Chain A
Amino acid sequence: MATTDIHVNTATHAHDDHSHEHGHEHHGNFWTNYIFSEDHKVIAKQFLITGIFWALIGGTLSVIFRLQLGFPDMNLEWLRPVLGGWITPEGKLDPEFYLALVTMHGTIMVFFVLTAGLSGTFSNFLIPLQIGARDMASGFMNMLSYWFFFVSSVIMFVSLFLQDGPAGGGWTIYPPLSALPQAIKGSGLGMTLWLVSMALFIASSLLGGINYISTIINMRTKGMSFTRMPLTVWAFFFTAIIGLLSFPVLFSAALLLIFDRSFGTSFFLSDIYIGGEALPNVGGSPILFQHLFWFLGHPEVYIVLLPALGLSSEIIATNARKPIFGYKAMIGSMLFIGILSFIVWAHHMFVTGMNPFLGSVFMLLTLIIAVPSAVKIFNYVTTLWQGNIKFTPAMLFSIGLVSFFLTGGITGIFLGNSAIDIQLHDTYFVVAHFHLVMGSASFFGMMAGVYHWFPKMFGRMMDNRLGYIHFWLTFVGVYLVFFPMHYIGIAGFPRRYYSWTNFETFSGFADLNMLVSGAAVITLTAQLIFIFNFFYSMWRGRVATANPWKSNTLEWTTPVNPGHGNWPGEIPSVYRWPYDYSKPGAKEDYIPQHIPYSETPESNLPHENELIKLESSGNDPIVVAKH
């Protein structure tokens, strides 16, 4: 099964040496332990807590603009202490600030929460623990990755308080709007800070990604071949590769936009008459920016989604007490999705004036991506079949993810069809689609991950009942927020509208909009339960056992509070895949990865009995990689 990438390591006791080395590093001071830590677990927690902070900001912004959309006659005077001049003298939200809110909500949620908060947290936390490594390939780069993200966060946060407001041209920052301060206030200093912040963010993301990839390739423990890696690690691996290939393109787009804004170039600007004068820029193309942006922008969807799918695969298998159905098909579909994600970007641009022939090509490629996605859903459902399902909060959130992935994913069949997309493009149908399939599904994956790995992060359990209340309020809330948007979208309501009352065509649906906004308020409030549970349990939760979910993967072989270096002694070797749940003949309904086949003769399959010989090769341990 795994013979191809196994070789015999003649330098014995490499792991032992390593553990002694690490034994001395436990005593640092506060700064090296908690602030500028190079320990992957601490960095993961830093990403997580920063991500939670951003999620609250991003969620609050959305509730403010939902108030405007759901209750357009509401007097928002009570927000003046917070928003100041952005509340007009009539007690309404300023239309330009509305756009800034929409823009920042998108930017924060996509990049700061679901990229850094999700991938940053769980790639960092789980990769070394699940492949059996003492830390990341480069702890220093890992630390830099977080601090680049931190500085980027500070800059983005500061931009919220500018007099002219933060960036306001939509999270896609299409020029010329984003390039011309005379077109919208948010394209002044707010946009400059947005670009600087994103440049740092991309640097952070690349530092992290390079680390994840090299760690996974080089630092797997004895026996941890690629075909024995948990799906989480596979997902992080693909995510990191996708990020590494696509983020630099966004960087180039941002750089060219900085040039257009500040140094008089014309990459994206041409034939513009604004503010009573014709600008000198000629020959640029706004469409070029869109191509560059979506070359990242589409893979970004999968950068956000794949880690969530990886986490939920692991959680569903553990709590259904069943092997994940179609392990190899799951990997194959992620690989296929990863490849296709690079060649579907222009489906965001069917009606931008792009050559219609390109539209045909991208439509074809886009609908192909539905096939591996469908395979994933079927595999999840089959994993549940004949399982023995334990509804832990993590399991509930994973099931929520599958449900959102289904509901949101299938509407992509309309949007990927260019002929149908003509009507639906930039309406609320699109908003409903991506908030379910990418936003909510990934968010639920992140929540599932937090509930599931909290005991390993903090050595304590989160409170289950609060977790259940949190899940049901959020699950129903998210459906109430986004499902009605399909109807509003089919009726043609355009997105990013401050108000629809100027149009007879869009005059209905005050009722649905009110429902959506009300549900949004409740859903956000429900997140406070999680915040409380999270911080309360960190100090006061029940003390966890080493393997509370009876799970197979390596992180559960560490002590309750793994120290620096993760395993106090030797790193365990791996002898089997991570999904030996409910194996016929076995004593318990799980067999962890570090249990050799020689110890489980009662449950071995015929080909597994043959692997026993390889296990007992004594002083020449089988090692997958050197350090």
Chain B
Amino acid sequence: MMSLIIGIGAVLVLTIFYLIFKVGKLVSIAKGKQAYDVSKSNGIHATLFIVFLIAGLGLFFWYSWTYFDKYTLPVASEHGAVTDTLFWISMVVVVAAFVIISIIMFMFLYQYQYREDRKAKFYPDNHYLELAWTVIPAIVLAVLIFTGLSAWQDITAPASKDAEVVELVAQQFAWTARYPGVKDEALGNYNFQLIDPINEFGLDLTDKNAFDDFKSLELHIPAGKEILLKIRAKDVLHSVFLPHFRVKMDAVPGMPTQFKFTATHTTKQMREKLGNPNFNYEMACTEICGRGHFSMKMPVVVHSPEEFEEWKKAQEAWLKQNPSYLEKVPAGLREAAMISAGIPLENAIASGVVGSQSVSVK
């Protein structure tokens, strides 16, 4: 019933509009007004453009100034401070160009609106003028390009050897992190064909570096130390996006990618800086990956280096959490694997995972 009333209302409104239009049309025909050439409203449009210019620029500057803190994200990485600076330098150049050209254009529209007694100036070209506005933008752009290039080269340069390596694995619709354990400080090999519901990394357990690797559903990183993210995807494209750290890199199935950065503020420091005790860093996915794309979040915690070492020590190796996978470890490496993963030897022998075979090898 309600929708019927709304429908009838809409039809009535449209009919009224149509009648107004029709009456106006008939009146204009009766008056014999020229329907084209120069419209009577010519001056109105010229004025409206000026109104639009002033209102538009006013809103633009007012909002940009008043809500600055709302639309800028605090920066928490070393290269982020550099790219932010570049961003704001470009912003000054761009806004200056935008404002000047807009004002000139809309002023011209007003100033040179049609007047019967004036003839336009026949002015087909001017090579000096054209040369000037080819060369000036080229120089300005060249400066922007070279500052950008050097920043880009630093950001994409190889990571230092002692960088803290973390592997991020993307899948529909979750992130998993894998850390090289504290014992060997190296990530073990993986192979996508070894992936199963439990071995979600596809850990290759014939590689001894894999024994102490541990898994985390949160990204924990230290501040003040270079971090190398090794990124891969299991199913479709995803993209690592750490907005506060100005980090973004796609996760590609079949092609591992990486991104290095150094965090500058721990979570605690950032909470103090912002005066927001509930602040948390987050990681998002920015490459369309399916139904749950918008919910693919990973919490991020930035520690001081000492806290970070403690946190790492407190984590259990993946193998320890899933001892049944000891079977996949070559018999000769099993004891080493158990030591590395921190699995008490007695328990394993008692449960028969290691027992007889390791004896038989001896």
Chain A residues near B (Cβ < 8 Å): 78, 95-96, 99, 169-170, 174, 176-177, 180, 183-184, 269-274, 276, 278, 282-287, 320-329, 351-353, 356, 359-360, 363-364, 367-368, 370-371, 374-375, 377-382, 384-392, 396, 399, 402-403, 406-407, 410-411, 413-414, 417-420, 422-423, 425-427, 461, 463-466, 468, 472, 475-476, 479, 483, 487-488, 490-492, 494-500, 502-506, 508-509, 542, 544, 548-550, 579, 581-584, 589
Kindly identify which residue among A285, A360, A370, A463 contacts B152, using a CB–CB cutoff of 8 Å. Answer: A360
Q: Report the separation of the CA atoms of residues A29 and B120 in the bound assembly, to the nearest whole angstrom.
A: 48
Q: Report the separation of the CA atoms of residues A95 and B353 in the bound assembly, to the nearest whole angstrom.
A: 46
Kindly identify which residue among B37, B102, B235, B286 contacts A494, using a CB–CB cutoff of 8 Å. Answer: B286
Q: Which residue of B lies closest to A468 (CB)?
A: B41
List 6 additional contacts besides A170-B288, A387-B120, A391-B113; criterion CB under 8 Å. Answer: A324-B124, A392-B39, A423-B243, A465-B24, A465-B41, A496-B293
Q: How far is the CB of A267 from chain B (nearest CB, A)?
A: 12
> Is B65 positioned at the interface, with any CB of A under 8 Å from its CB?
no
Q: How far is the CB of B278 from chain A (nearest CB, A)?
A: 8
What residues of chain B lie closer than 8 Å to A99, measured between beta carbons?
288, 290-291, 293
What residues of chain A lie closer than 8 Å to B120, measured between beta carbons?
320-322, 386-388, 581-582, 589
What residues of chain A lie closer than 8 Å to B278, measured between beta carbons?
504
Flag if B237 contacts A177 (CB, 8 Å): yes
What residues of chain B lie closer than 8 Å to A581, measured between beta carbons?
120, 122
**Stretch among B131-139, B211-219, B317-325, B339-347 lining the A interface:** B131-139
> Is B336 positioned at the interface, with any CB of A under 8 Å from its CB?
no
Q: Report the separation of the CA atoms of residues A283 and B255 in the bound assembly, to the nearest whole angstrom.
A: 10
Flag if B35 contacts A542 (CB, 8 Å): yes
> Is B60 positioned at the interface, with any CB of A under 8 Å from its CB?
yes
Given contacts A99-B288, A378-B133, A468-B41, contact A425 B248 (CB under 8 A): yes
> Is B358 positioned at the interface, with any CB of A under 8 Å from its CB?
no
Kindly identify which residue among A78, A183, A359 contacts B235, using a CB–CB cutoff of 8 Å. Answer: A183
Flag if B130 contacts A464 (CB, 8 Å): no
What residues of chain B lie closer than 8 Å to A329, measured between beta carbons?
125, 130
**Stretch among B141-149, B180-188, B220-228, B301-309 lining the A interface:** B141-149
Flag if A353 contacts B255 (CB, 8 Å): yes
Chain B residues near A (Cβ < 8 Å): 3, 21, 24-25, 35-39, 41-42, 45-46, 48-49, 52, 56, 60, 63-64, 67, 70-73, 80, 82-83, 86-87, 90-91, 93-94, 97-98, 101-102, 104-105, 108-109, 112-115, 118-126, 129-130, 133-134, 137-138, 141, 144-145, 148-149, 151-153, 155-156, 171-172, 192-193, 195, 197, 202, 231, 234-237, 239, 241, 243-244, 246-250, 252-255, 257, 278-280, 282, 284-295, 297
Given contacts A274-B234, A278-B195, A491-B73, contact A363 B288 (CB under 8 A): no
Flag if B98 contacts A407 (CB, 8 Å): yes
Q: Which residue of A lies closest to B46 (CB)?
A: A391
Flag if A371 contacts B46 (CB, 8 Å): no
Given contacts A286-B237, A353-B255, contact A406 B101 (CB under 8 A): yes
Given contacts A177-B289, A417-B145, contact A386 B121 (CB under 8 A): yes
Q: Report the separation of the CA atoms of residues A483 and B60 in the bound assembly, to the nearest whole angstrom.
A: 9
What residues of chain A lie closer than 8 Å to B60, measured between beta carbons?
483
Kindly identify which residue among B39, B71, B236 contacts A177, using a CB–CB cutoff of 8 Å. Answer: B236
Flag if B38 contacts A472 (CB, 8 Å): no
Kindly identify which residue among B38, B52, B101, B279 contacts A377, using a CB–CB cutoff of 8 Å. Answer: B101
Flag if B35 contacts A583 (CB, 8 Å): no
Kindly identify which residue among B35, B102, B195 contacts A406, using a CB–CB cutoff of 8 Å. Answer: B102
Q: Report the separation of the CA atoms of residues A466 and B48 in the bound assembly, to the nearest whole angstrom.
A: 16
A-B contact pairs, 5 of them (CB 8 A): A184-B291, A388-B120, A399-B109, A423-B243, A508-B70
Q: Report the separation of the CA atoms of residues A335 and B147 in the bound assembly, to the nearest whole angstrom.
A: 28
Given contacts A353-B252, A420-B148, A463-B25, contact A426 B112 (CB under 8 A): no
Q: Report the separation of the CA atoms of residues A385 and B141 in the bound assembly, to the nearest whole angstrom.
A: 26
What residues of chain B lie closer than 8 Å to A548, measured between beta carbons?
36-37
What residues of chain B lie closer than 8 Å to A370, measured between beta carbons?
137, 141
Q: Which residue of B lies closest to A380 (CB)?
A: B105
The 10 A-B residue pairs with the shortest CB-CB distance in the complex, in nearest-first order = A270-B254, A356-B156, A353-B257, A386-B121, A271-B254, A492-B243, A582-B120, A419-B151, A391-B45, A417-B148
Flag if B93 contacts A413 (CB, 8 Å): yes
Q: Report the separation of the CA atoms of residues A325 and B244 in the bound assembly, to the nearest whole angstrom.
A: 46
Kindly identify which residue among B118, B130, B284 contacts A375, using a CB–CB cutoff of 8 Å. Answer: B130
Kindly identify which residue among A270, A487, A496 contacts B288, using a CB–CB cutoff of 8 Å. Answer: A496
Residue with the highest number of chain A CB atoms closer than 10 Å, among B152, B172, B197: B152
